[in-house]
Chain A
Amino acid sequence: MIQLDQVAKGFRVNGKSLPILNIPSWEVAAGEKIAIIGPSGSGKSTLLHLLGGIMGPDSGGIYVQSHSLHEMSQSRRDQYRAANVGYIMQEFHLIPSLTAGQNVELVMPVAGRSRKQRNDLLHQWFHKVGLEERIHHLPAQLSRGQQQRVAIIRALINNPPLVLADEPTGSLDWETAGELTELLLKICMTSGMTLITVTHDLNLAQRFTKCLHISDLNKAHRTGKSTSVQPYKEHML
């Protein structure tokens, strides 16, 4: 499903080159549910951005299904992302002028489905996450947990083969965070989607089929001063 080969990515800060990621090799099988943990600034989010085609690597190859992301132009990566990637973020980023339903509708392709089919699908998903009554509400009229549920529908409604979640429960209380993680895992499990989540929450991370520490993948942060984070561990649930 995903293959990374000698991927390097760095940023220029104050004129100096700062390496962020250096992944010699990494493979993810289709349908895996992986949690990546690690301290801030260790390259977790950058890894997600590379997998989502938001940015390209400085060097190396990134292959997702049949797509060679490192060879794609930005517009091709936009198309790839629209068709293959569902993205969930810590801040839900719902567009305030659109209702919950319209926020989801925004990602639904118009071609190939009638308006009624699109509407039915929308209602099914809102029913699935227990928000059917809120479909016509504006984001400002929803709680944070409800907003994140809408963001999850937005990410999953097109059945993307790959779902990337960047601290999806980071701004929620622990109870809601637990519920939403279960919901996300359940849906991805049922639909066979590959889910890669970045989180600081070890309790949540343990619910995934695999839990990786970023430093196990990323050689850029292995040298120099040692970090205070946990060494590599892997859980198979």
Chain B
Amino acid sequence: MKLAAFVVRNILHRKFLSLLTVSTVAVTVGLIVFLILMQESVEEGAAKGYGPFDLVVGAEGSETQLVLNTFYHVGAPVGNISLDVLDALQKHNGVDKAYGMTTGDNYNGYPIVGIDPEYFATRYGNQKLSAGNLYGSLGEVVIGSHAARALGVSVGDTFKGGHGLVEEAGHSFDAVEEHHDEHEEFQYKIVGILPPLHTPDDRAVFTTMDYAWAVHEESGEHREVTAVLVKPRSIGGVQEIKLQYDGENGVQAAYTSKAVADVLEVVDLGSEMIGLVTMLCILLAASSLLLSLTAAANERKKDVGLLRLIGKSRGYVFMTFIGEGMALVICGLIAGIGIGHLGGYLFQDLLFDYTGIKINALLAGPSHLLLILGTIVLGGLAMMIPSFKMYRLDPLQLFKA
């Protein structure tokens, strides 16, 4: 009888304990895979989140809030700045492109963002829309792929926007105490649906910048923008623009990458905490494996004595135990990787709705390899003690009471 067949028979003979061990390993590995996917997707999403816009100019206040609201459509805007700032930046020698952004309304929780349609070409290049065309006049909107799918809308549909800044789970948060009713008098028409861009823009509704002025009946010098996205001509130019605008007349200029790095630092801190909990889970899984194999070893002392009596070598005995443990670990590992990715897939829309960061459930990188190696090594270590105990047993064990 081949060793592998013997190992499989032993595993099947202790179905419940084997299943319990596989489940413990699978849940732990699944949790780690899910966290890896989250962390890598957050980092990837954060890096992709602001495109070529190295600088963002907005009202004085929190830099992080300004960047999160402008690029990730999360939280409330810091405030508004005069349209003159946009005009000045567009004429600035160090600026390649500058786009003003207006926000304030939402459609069923998805933020309505006013921005020049050229923004899409600058940021995403020449991508074809999934349907329809880009907006051109007041009231026309294009809708992000995720929002379109979630809302079940198509080109030609019309809707009325709800007032409020970024809305969460159906209720809006208004920075300024205004009425919360829908703008009954203002109707939007969907003229296009964006292709999947894999950025927070997938969950926004885009329209002309002047929508906010029309909705809120602002004109002339009262017209304001929430932020200006700046693509500098050169890296060196960024600092000059920042120095020029930062702190002037209630305006701040923030390095996008720095604000994102600050957020990631907080995320990293959170990850460290989760990492600690994960370590506990790993220790529990290793202990479970150790206990399971120790129980198997104690249960099978006579069997091992018999194997030795019929002439099986110590190496054979050792391999039956290591083989059994390794088979359980590998089954748990495969199931765990599946569970982790399935979890990532199931949670991707929820996370995207709340944070604008999409989990890439198919992501596989060096962390996976490290996880696989780590699990096998740790599993191997947990198996060593009972396997070695069995290795040392001699055939006389069979004759002991």
Cα A30 to Cα B43 in complex, Å, equals 79
Cα A108 to Cα B312 in complex, Å, equals 11
Summed over the interface, the residue pairs from A and B with CB atoms below 8 Å come to a total of: 63
A81, B310: Cβ atoms closer than 8 Å: yes
- Interface of A: prevailing SS: mixed
Assess whether B311 is interfacial by the CB under 8 Å rule. yes
A95, B303: Cβ atoms closer than 8 Å: yes
B311, A81: Cβ atoms closer than 8 Å: yes
B9, A97: Cβ atoms closer than 8 Å: yes
Cα A35 to Cα B399 in complex, Å, equals 20
Assess whether A45 is interfacial by the CB under 8 Å rule. yes
Cα A82 to Cα B9 in complex, Å, equals 22
Assess whether B49 is interfacial by the CB under 8 Å rule. no
A154, B396: Cβ atoms closer than 8 Å: no
Cα A82 to Cα B396 in complex, Å, equals 15
Among the listed A78, A83, A87, A108, which residue makes an inter-chain contact with B313, where contact means beta carbons less than 8 Å apart?
Answer: A78
A106, B302: Cβ atoms closer than 8 Å: no
Among the listed A75, A102, A108, A110, which residue makes an inter-chain contact with B9, where contact means beta carbons less than 8 Å apart?
Answer: A102
B398, A55: Cβ atoms closer than 8 Å: no
B residues contacting the other copy or chain, number (CB 8 A): 26
Cα A74 to Cα B315 in complex, Å, equals 13
Q: What's the minimum C-beta distance from B132 to chain A, rounded to whole angstroms?
A: 65
Q: What's the minimum C-beta distance from A18 to chain B, rounded to whole angstroms?
A: 16
Assess whether B323 is interfacial by the CB under 8 Å rule. no
A49, B396: Cβ atoms closer than 8 Å: yes
Cα A168 to Cα B11 in complex, Å, equals 30
A54, B394: Cβ atoms closer than 8 Å: yes
Assess whether B197 is interfacial by the CB under 8 Å rule. no
A97-B12, A105-B1 known; A45 and B309 CB under 8 Å?
no
Chain A residues closer than 8 Å to B312, beta-carbon distance? 78, 82
Chain B residues closer than 8 Å to A166, beta-carbon distance? 399
Cα A108 to Cα B14 in complex, Å, equals 25
Chain B residues closer than 8 Å to A98, beta-carbon distance? 1, 6, 9
A residues contacting the other copy or chain, number (CB 8 A): 29
Cα A82 to Cα B398 in complex, Å, equals 16
Q: What's the minimum C-beta distance from A167 to chain B, rounded to whole angstroms?
A: 11
B398, A89: Cβ atoms closer than 8 Å: yes
Assess whether B222 is interfacial by the CB under 8 Å rule. no
Among B10, B311, B313, B396, max chain A CB count under 10 A is at: B311
Chain A residues closer than 8 Å to B314, beta-carbon distance? 75, 78
Assess whether A96 is interfacial by the CB under 8 Å rule. yes
Among the listed B1, B14, B309, which residue makes an inter-chain contact with A102, where contact means beta carbons less than 8 Å apart?
Answer: B1
Chain A residues closer than 8 Å to B313, beta-carbon distance? 75, 78
Assess whether B179 is interfacial by the CB under 8 Å rule. no
A110, B2: Cβ atoms closer than 8 Å: yes
Assess whether A79 is interfacial by the CB under 8 Å rule. yes
Chain A residues closer than 8 Å to B395, beta-carbon distance? 54
A54, B309: Cβ atoms closer than 8 Å: yes
Mark B265-303 against chain A: 1 for CB-CB distance below 8 A, else 0. Answer: 000000000000000000000000000000000000011
A87, B309: Cβ atoms closer than 8 Å: yes
Q: What's the minimum C-beta distance from B138 to chain A, rounded to whole angstroms?
A: 77
Q: What's the minimum C-beta distance from A128 to chain B, rounded to whole angstroms?
A: 20
Which B residues from 306 to 336 make CB contacts under 8 A with A? 306-314
Mark B120-148 against chain A: 1 for CB-CB distance below 8 A, else 0. Answer: 00000000000000000000000000000
8 shortest A-B CB distances, which residue pairs? Answer: A82-B311, A97-B13, A81-B311, A105-B1, A93-B306, A54-B395, A97-B9, A106-B1
Residues of A within 8 A of B (CB): 45, 49, 52, 54-55, 74-75, 78-83, 85, 87, 89, 93, 95-98, 102, 105-108, 110, 154, 166
Apart from A96-B13, A97-B10, 6 more pairs, CB < 8 Å: A52-B309, A54-B394, A78-B311, A82-B311, A96-B303, A102-B1
Listed A/B pairs (23) with beta-carbon separation below 8 Å: A45-B399, A49-B399, A52-B309, A54-B394, A54-B395, A55-B396, A78-B308, A78-B313, A82-B310, A82-B311, A83-B311, A89-B398, A89-B399, A93-B305, A95-B303, A95-B306, A97-B12, A97-B13, A98-B6, A106-B1, A106-B6, A106-B307, A110-B1
